[in-house]
A and B are shown apart, each in its own frame.
Chain A
């Protein structure tokens, strides 16, 4: 009997911290975001949609006519524009998610005091984190769907596996959004926020986006392969070009870990900041 009792107490006390973190009501935070976006942020969303398409047209079709074909990491020769399109798709998902989870979150945290208000209701920090991150994810998905339609129209989806690029892109957006929000919680000034761009831009340009990773010497390759975007680019490129391999599961795992770590980090930070 004693062991049953102590097990019960143990399981209750294990449940408790979760209950003070999460009320199961992340949807109310998403609804709020949707309502706010509807009234104010349409232009930003539109610009984020067109950005990768401009890259695709200028670099893919313009530069691509000079480059011709490229050999992928799996040894397949494909047109240059089909090589960079999946990379731009992964980047678009990243950018959408990062914009929402960094700049928007920064503003809400420091100027609008939005989270302070939310956390004086029955919401927990995980509700707020999940709600904001899922909304960022939705935005990443919106960009991705638009871009995939353009890719389809230009004949750049080389395989039926392409359809799986959509969930893959969601995974990428989820990873970046949950991590981005956690990182942003440490930022105190606009100057610090610029560091995010300082990391994002080189990552975009160097993560085997515009040329195969084989152009790098070994040690740079290791470094690039540690960065999250490279995993996203490889995953999506494998799907849209139909070069499927078991190794792709590593990319998926990379993002799953990133999501979990990001959620834990964000929840802890929100609790430290607003429920001290």
Chain B
């Protein structure tokens, strides 16, 4: 394996007594697409800020592109592209000027930045918006512009904090497509998300983070294999009866989880479990058999849902 571009060992970030990140260790290989999956407040963004060299760690070791972010902030930041959780585009500047001015912050020559800005407008499918005001763009366009802006310095690593939160499904798919292209071109991607479909689409490997620590690590498929079954049967008996019915499911499925609104039955064959259930005289109001997802992995690991 080539030398990692990011290596964190027992990374800790404390704010007064509260440990936002509490001993995280991971490595990211060049060209890899690495994800941090977890609920809000798990410590994902704080980890990203430390990797992005805008936050100093309390303890532990961190190396980004072979440099220590506590000492070499500007050197590291010059080789990173950062897409923050909430857009911080410059609303006083037009779309194309946003890219050009941002490139100038890196000290890049104007002619180079101008040419690169036009390439990136094409990449972000915003060519016809070059002269628009930022505030006139849709949410999806703003995100694409933010990603284009993060690429202005040809970064070696692209950090994306919740890249598609708040976007409608169509805008998310356009964005995923763009990110997938970057991945194909060999850009190292590090992203945080609390959407399992996003993690499954984009990440080669991910860590599941909760309360500042890593719960599990692996590829999406491997995590599902390890912590969940092939299929999940979701049944609803009505919110009053779910708990009562759950007591009568002994021997059905590999494992059963009772949520307030539904019961999840883990099994390699969901249909067969449903048949066995009805044979016992249990008739759910609704039933659904689906493939296992990272949501199930998270539930298994923490006993809680990702989105609460």
Which A residues fall within an 8 A CB radius of B?
16, 19-20, 23, 25, 28-29, 31-32, 35-36, 39-40, 112-114, 116-124, 274-276
B54 and A119: CB pair below 8 A? yes
B105 and A39: CB pair below 8 A? no
Min distance, Cβ A17 to any Cβ of chain B, angstroms: 9
Residues in chain A near residue B56, CB distance under 8 A: 275-276
If A116-B88, A120-B82, A275-B55 touch, whether A32 touches B74 (CB-CB below 8 Å) is no
Task: Pick the interface stretch among B90-98, B170-178, B250-258, B279-287.
Answer: B90-98
B91 and A120: CB pair below 8 A? no
A20 and B55: CB pair below 8 A? no
If A20-B74, A276-B55 touch, whether A122 touches B88 (CB-CB below 8 Å) is no
A28 and B90: CB pair below 8 A? no
Interface string of B83-113 (1 = CB under 8 A from A): 0101011111110010001101111000000
A23 and B74: CB pair below 8 A? yes
Report the separation of the CA atoms of residues A120 and B55 in the bound assembly, to the nearest whole angstrom: 10
Report the separation of the CA atoms of residues A112 and B72 in the bound assembly, to the nearest whole angstrom: 27
A36 and B105: CB pair below 8 A? no
Residue B52 CB within 8 A of the other chain? yes
A117 and B90: CB pair below 8 A? yes
Residue B77 CB within 8 A of the other chain? yes
Partner of A112, one of B92, B97, B106: B92
Residues in chain A near residue B86, CB distance under 8 A: 113
Min distance, Cβ A27 to any Cβ of chain B, angstroms: 8
Which B residues fall within an 8 A CB radius of A?
52, 54-56, 71-75, 77-78, 80, 82, 84, 86, 88-94, 97, 101-102, 104-107, 153
A32 and B106: CB pair below 8 A? no
A36 and B93: CB pair below 8 A? yes
Residues in chain B near residue A276, CB distance under 8 A: 54-56
A274 and B93: CB pair below 8 A? no
Partner of B71, one of A16, A39, A112: A16
B78 and A112: CB pair below 8 A? no
Apart from A28-B105, A275-B56: 20 A-B pairs, beta carbons within 8 A: A20-B71, A23-B107, A25-B107, A28-B107, A29-B105, A31-B101, A32-B90, A35-B92, A35-B101, A39-B94, A114-B88, A116-B84, A117-B89, A120-B52, A120-B77, A120-B84, A121-B106, A121-B153, A122-B74, A124-B73
Residues in chain B near residue A19, CB distance under 8 A: 74
Residues in chain A near residue B54, CB distance under 8 A: 119-120, 274-276
Residues in chain B near residue A29, CB distance under 8 A: 105
Report the separation of the CA atoms of residues A114 and B98 in the bound assembly, to the nearest whole angstrom: 11
Residue of B nearest to A107 (CB): B92
A31 and B104: CB pair below 8 A? yes
Residue of A nearest to B56 (CB): A276
Partner of B88, one of A16, A25, A39, A112: A112
Residues in chain B near residue A121, CB distance under 8 A: 77-78, 102, 105-106, 153
